Structure 1
Amino acid sequence: MKNLVGFLFVSLFFISCQQKIKPEDLVNINGYWEIEKVGFDKGEDKQYVMNESYDYFEIWKNNDGFRKKVMPQLDGTFIVNDTYENIKIRFKDDQVFMDYVTPYAKWTEELIAVTEDKLVFKNQDEKEYHYKKAQKLNILGDGKKIK
């Protein structure tokens, strides 16, 4: 019985420590993000050491926005194409969802965590996508700072 009470206490502690995402936290989504790992529902993770593309998010005050794939270049610029996904952020109970729409598909991901330097989504297949804030590259040695 003591073990059961202890287990319940620890479980409630971890549940209560989970980040509750508020509307004012959504501004942290804006910017360039680099995927770090994907967590699968069976417990294994796939690590990403180097990425050829970043995700760029822009969310406006009305909770609408978009996501684009961009490719960082050695001089600190990005190659961008015209492909993007429209996003609508939706709050439901204690959860936050990102509803995506393209001309070809619609899908939803749950926003698990968002801070200035961390972003975590979970899709319908229970895969968790962990991102870190991306830094612009400039390894050409020209001495110029990237803005």
Structure 2
Amino acid sequence: MKKLLYLSLISIALFSACSQSPTKEDLQQLKGYWEIKTVESQSGKKKTFSFNESVDYIFINEDLNGFRTKVKPDLEGKYTKTGTRENLKIDLQNDSIFIHYNTPQATWKESLLKLDKNSFTVKNKRGLTYTYQRFNGYLSHE
């Protein structure tokens, strides 16, 4: 009985640690190259991407302002800009983190649900949930 209680407490602690929301201190982990791995709708319909011809480059400064742009990687590890630069600002509201984007054509926001050094997940107002993984190049062994 004592072992079962101990195992239950460890399980709860691990689950809580894994499900914590991102913090302000985590946000610098967004810097870098990212590729979309999955997109899931509110109804649970899910699309998985096994290869991305273009990836997102995200830059964030200390004031939590920055930009996101699409780039096309090559096999040598170089990148060519392919998309519009989207200015971004990260907004911390209570226990939530929002990424506000703007271009000359539109403005929108996403809620940051999860973040670690290798992946992050955001949700937009249409209920689409995007999961990204860090892009390390096409020839990476990671």
User: What range describes the TM-score normalised by the shorter chain of this pair?
Assistant: 0.7 to 0.9
Provide the alpha-carbon RMSD of the alignment: 2.0
What is the CA deviation profile of residues 22-44 of structure 1, one whole-angstrom value per residue up to 9, with x for unaligned ones? 11100100000011000111112
Runs of 4+ aligned residues of structure 1 deviating over 6 Å after TM superposition are: none
TM-score by length of 2: 0.82
Deviation at residue 138 of structure 1 after TM alignment: 4.8
Q: Which residue of 2 aligns with 1:33?
A: 34
In 2: Cα distance, 1:90 partner to 1:102 partner: 17
CA contact (8 A) 2:72 2:81 kept: yes
In 1: Cα distance, 2:18 partner to 2:123 partner: 18
Deviation at residue 137 of structure 1 after TM alignment: 3.2
Residue 126 of structure 2 is aligned to residue 132 of structure 1 = no
TM-score by length of 1: 0.80
Contiguous gaps of at least 5 residues in structure 2: 1-14
Q: Which residue of 1 aligns with 2:122?
A: 121
Could you tell me the percent identity over the aligned residues?
37
In 2: Cα distance, 1:22 partner to 1:114 partner: 9
Cα 1:17–1:51 shift into 2, 3 Å: closer
In 2: Cα distance, 1:28 partner to 1:71 partner: 21
The alignment partner of 1:41 has SS state of coil
What is the CA deviation profile of residues 48-80 of structure 1, one whole-angstrom value per residue up to 9, with x for unaligned ones? 010000000001110100000000112211111
